[in-house]
Amino acid sequence: MTASHSDALVLFGATGDLAHKMIFPALYAMTEHGGLTAPVIGVALTKENPAGLRKLVTDSIKASGGIADKRALQHLLSHLTYVSGDYKDAGTFAAIKTALGTAKRPAFYLAIPPSLFGTVIEGLGQAKLAEHARVIVEKPFGRDLASAQELNRIARAAFPEDSIFRIDHYLGKEAIMNILYFRFANSYLEPIWNRNYVSNVQITLSEDFGVQDRGAFYETAGCLRDVIQNHLFQVVALLAMEAPATRDYGALNTEKAKVFQAMRPLKPNDLVRGQYAGYRKEPGVAKDSDVETFCALRLFIDSWRWQGVPWYLRSGKYLAATATEVIVELKPPPQRLFADSAPANGLGNYLRFRVSPNSAIALASRVKLAGKEFVGEQRELYLSDEQPGEQSPYERLLGDAMAGDGALFSREDAVEAAWAVVEPVLTKHHPVLPYKRLSWGPKEADSIIAPEGRWHNPTPHDAPG
């Protein structure tokens, strides 16, 4: 399939929460910036008339930040149509074909429950709608290795691999893309970006709120599936991968897949699972639930570059701050020439990639204090900071998918390799440990990183130090 631009977008789940919160605002932004001229066809089971659909979209855009460009809104609304029907009914797909009219290269976005992914993809194939088309599949792509393999089989039966876009909105974040750029645009990193100089890497994705109204969903997922296996593994891949031969998305995805394939499968003692106090009282949660709302793990990548370097990952609900941060800690100098040059508070020189709530890149180094004595302190040098005018992740990813650029999407082999890493501990693991709300999780998580180091706890309001 050539990389021609999609000439229509069909949105399954048009009346759902994801469409309301993320997709319609992204489509409005794309229209405002000239990136969307194709018609949009919303599909859902709900009966909705044209006026009701336009109000739904308008309310969504207002809630996301307001309407700055009324012409862009009117353009989007005038190109919007709706098909109501059951995803299991062949008549629904016939109606979609009619609504597409002369469009020959549609993109189908599946913003629907994962249990319906296979049903819709098979329906598209049976209706002969998959030819010259693309399909965009929301996460989670499977819930274990077997289900991911089955979903890949169904998708590949209808679409070629380069027409399947497995979306993870985390890869569309500007700060995440900057990790890739920063690594390979700067020559001074390469000599130290390996097992000889890096002591460890730790990644934290923390939230200071609970599961809210998603208790029933969380009971089917848990933190390991919901965050670590996808979001944090993708960040690991960008940090650990070798340089691709070209910027072609096939070359990039090949190197990312190699990282997942080199990851050592997890064992029960490699992770600590926690559950915040009161989780079992949340709506939709079992009274004896063993689902983790916190997970910390130790990971190894058995490659030439990273052999023996521990990667520490953790994420959780109701932690002390909402933040996402990467710390790449360097080994200390080989000779301790100055008495105070040991790692400050257990943390040596490091590179810090701040993803949220504000994005930044910082380098921590020791500098001498004024005076005759050779005494210093560790300070941070900011190398990058928040930039205005950033695209939202969904605007970027939708635009890339419709243009046929798969660089920020996951490939079949990478998805299955990532699931293979966590597969051994999805069902065989230690029980969850309770932790207080707004803490940093169960104290037992410290055992994952000790005695070599300690967790670096991000702060909610980051500033140059």
Q: What is the pLDDT of residue 345?
A: 62
Q: Quick check: 1 pLDDT over 60?
A: no
419 within a domain of the structure (yes/no):
yes
Q: What is the pLDDT of residue 159?
A: 98
Regarding whether 218 and 103 lie in a shared domain, the answer is no
Reported confidence tier of residue 451, pLDDT bands at 50, 70, 90: confident
Regarding whether 389 and 258 lie in a shared domain, the answer is yes
Which tokens in the block code for residue 66?
Answer: 């307001």
Q: Are 202 and 232 in contact (CB under 8 A)?
A: no
Regarding whether 182 and 119 lie in a shared domain, the answer is no
Regarding whether 219 and 313 lie in a shared domain, the answer is yes
462 within a domain of the structure (yes/no):
no
Regarding whether 186 and 134 lie in a shared domain, the answer is no
pLDDT tens digits, one per residue of 408-432: 999 999 999 999 999 999 999 999 9
126 vs 131: CA distance, rounded Å:
11
Query: Which residue, 115, 138, 161, sits at the end of a domain?
Result: 138
Regarding whether 233 and 101 lie in a shared domain, the answer is no
pLDDT tens digits, one per residue of 106-141: 999 999 999 999 999 999 999 999 999 999 998 889
Query: Which residue, 82, 116, 138, sits at the end of a domain?
Result: 138
Residue 131's SS3 state is coil
> Which residues are part of the catalytic machinery?
231
Regarding whether 425 and 281 lie in a shared domain, the answer is yes
158 within a domain of the structure (yes/no):
no
334 within a domain of the structure (yes/no):
yes
Using CA atoms in the order 88, 55, 395, 37, what is the torsion angle rounded to 10 degrees? 90
Q: What is the pLDDT of residue 461?
A: 63
Q: Count up the domains in the chain and report the number.
A: 2
Which tokens in the block code for residue 306?
Answer: 């990273």
Q: Quick check: 236 pLDDT over 80?
A: yes
Reported confidence tier of residue 318, pLDDT bands at 50, 70, 90: very high
DSSP 176-237: HHHHHHHHHH-TTTGGGSSTTTEEEEEEEEE-SS--TT-HHHHHHS-HIIIIIIIIIHHHHH
From residue 369, give the alpha-carbon distance in Å to each of 338, 347, 374, 379. Answer: 13, 19, 8, 11
Q: What is the pLDDT of residue 89?
A: 97
58 vs 50: CA distance, rounded Å:
12
Regarding whether 409 and 328 lie in a shared domain, the answer is yes
Q: What is the pLDDT of residue 464?
A: 45
148 within a domain of the structure (yes/no):
no
- Compute φ and ψ for 18, nearest 5 degrees: -65, -45
Containing structural domain, residue 220: 171-449
Segment 89-98 shows an average pLDDT of 97
pLDDT tens digits, one per residue of 237-268: 999 999 998 877 789 999 999 999 999 999 99
Regarding whether 378 and 282 lie in a shared domain, the answer is yes
Query: Which residue, 87, 121, 138, sits at the end of a domain?
Result: 138
Q: What is the CATH number of the domain that holds 273?
A: 3.30.360.10
191 within a domain of the structure (yes/no):
yes
Regarding whether 82 and 175 lie in a shared domain, the answer is no
Q: Are 61 and 24 in contact (CB under 8 A)?
A: yes
Q: What is the pLDDT of residue 383?
A: 81
Q: Quick check: 342 pLDDT over 70?
A: no
110 within a domain of the structure (yes/no):
yes
Segment 79-83 shows an average pLDDT of 95
Regarding whether 234 and 122 lie in a shared domain, the answer is no
pLDDT tens digits, one per residue of 374-410: 888 888 998 876 776 678 999 999 999 999 999 899 9
Which tokens in the block code for residue 232?
Answer: 């944090």
Q: What is the pLDDT of residue 465?
A: 42
What's the predicted TM-score (pTM) here?
0.93
459 within a domain of the structure (yes/no):
no
Task: Write the single-letter amino acid at 214.
Answer: R
Q: Quick check: 187 pLDDT over 50?
A: yes
